[in-house]
Amino acid sequence: MPSSSKTTAVKSGLTDPTVNPSRRQFLEKTGTAALVAVVAGNTNPLKAEELVLEPGTYQPLDPAKKVRLGVVGGGFGSRMFWNFEPNCIVHAVSDLRTDRRDHLMKVYECDRSYESLEKLILDDQLDAVAVFTGVPDHAGHVLAAMNTGKHAISAVTACTTLEEASRMKEVKESTGLKYMMAETSYYRPEAIAARELFQRGAFGELFYTEAEYFHPHTESERSSPNSYWYYNGQRTWRHGFPPLLYCTHATSFLVGTTGERITDVSCIGMLSPPGIPGYAVGHNRYDNPFNSQIALCNTDRGHACRVQSIWTGTESAERAQWFGTDMSLYMPGSGGQPFKIRGPEAAPGSVPDYRRRLPPSMHSVKTSHGNSHTHLAHEFVSAIIEDREPAVDLYEALAMTVPGIVANESSKRGGEQLKVPNFDRTTG
């Protein structure tokens, strides 16, 4: 994206002057090889044997250590397979709906339930809380859990406003507790492959990424009394939700691969076809007129990224394309696009089954989102037991989430290029 004299700091509450723009060292996440490749370029492309993708093996945790977990949200929260993780005990569950509470109790063979998250987090036997409630409630529910001394994992996205992002950072740094965002795209097998190839320097300089999330909202989903948009005739949080406030299935393909931070964004919004009920200022709680948003971004390394989230059409996909000076990698798509690596003469033709890195009890479990759910559960539990930050910790989660918040504002301003505030770890 070219620089522009029109580039502005984000207004109307979108700039938090308390945020320190410093960030932790890239080396923490990706290692020396990747850092050298990014800074200096890879002048000697890797040999074929260096490009072999290995499935890896499981490294057992201390069997005596267990994480006692509370699961909140009986929809997506019931599909995370916590009970297949040998170091996890689902101690309690909660949902406002009786039918979903009962479902959670059955799935996780748990006999303790609470009518609300507010009651569950007071259980002093819990180590951590899994928040799988509606997106607008994630930040508030995570903060409530952490303020009672519980580690937390939430579904995407981490938050929907910059004010929430700032509060999450403050609580994280004041409590020292662990937070993880359950970003499924981070553990799609092609994303794992791209990340590990990047860490070896295989891309050379990875100068451009295209990332997209297609999830068409059909007429039946928008109008049925018991659908994504409605429950018992009442609107759910999904009614008219802005596409790029749900951006992390796309942005994680960049942030989760290279560790880059998006610094500027210009976004256009569309309503296609025109006149769809529910998309208009004053017709939904978000004053959102768009069912598609497409953003062009700059990064802190001078690279570009296109990010889009689209609620219309027939395509259904979470995919990316990574372009480097020595190699490019293309994810498969529902339109028939194959997995492809271009560049090296003997590039891998397929990605391995990375479930071998999980506990044996999870090897045969198949999930949606590219078999990512078990990886997410195992990573969160492992981070707590090993007393380390999870892969998609708060700082990575906000680096994936915040660009979408700013992009949504940009689309309301006709594509004006706006600065993206940084919420990385504060260093003294």
Domains (range + CATH), the chain: 27-55+186-352+392-419 (3.30.360.10)
Indicate whether 92 pLDDT > 50: yes
Instruction: Encode pLDDT of 330-387 as tens digits.
Output: 999 888 889 999 987 778 888 999 999 999 999 999 999 999 999 999 999 999 999 9
Whether 224 has a pLDDT exceeding 90, the answer reads: no
The tens digit of pLDDT for each residue in 106-163 reads 999 999 999 999 999 999 999 999 999 999 999 999 999 999 999 999 999 999 999 9
For the chain, percent of residues with pLDDT exceeding 90: 79
pTM, two decimal places: 0.90
Q: What is the pLDDT of residues 32-53, one digit of tens each?
A: 344 444 444 445 777 766 788 8
Across residues 271-285, what is the average pLDDT?
94
Determine the pLDDT at residue 238. 94
Give the model's confidence band at 428: pLDDT under 50 very low, under 70 low, under 90 confident, else very high: low
Residue 13 has pLDDT above 80, yes or no: no
Secondary structure (H, E, C), 227-296: CCCEECCEECCCCCCCHHHHCHHHHHHHHHHHCCCEEEEEEEEECCCCCCCCCCCCCCCCCCCCCEEEEE
Q: Is the predicted pLDDT of residue 226 greater than 80, yes or no?
A: no
Query: What's the confidence (pLDDT) of residue 39?
Result: 40
Give the pLDDT of residue 8: 36
Lowest mean pLDDT among 33-37, 173-177, 254-258, 396-400: 33-37
Least confident of 5-19, 216-230, 278-292: 5-19
| Residue 43: predicted pLDDT | 54
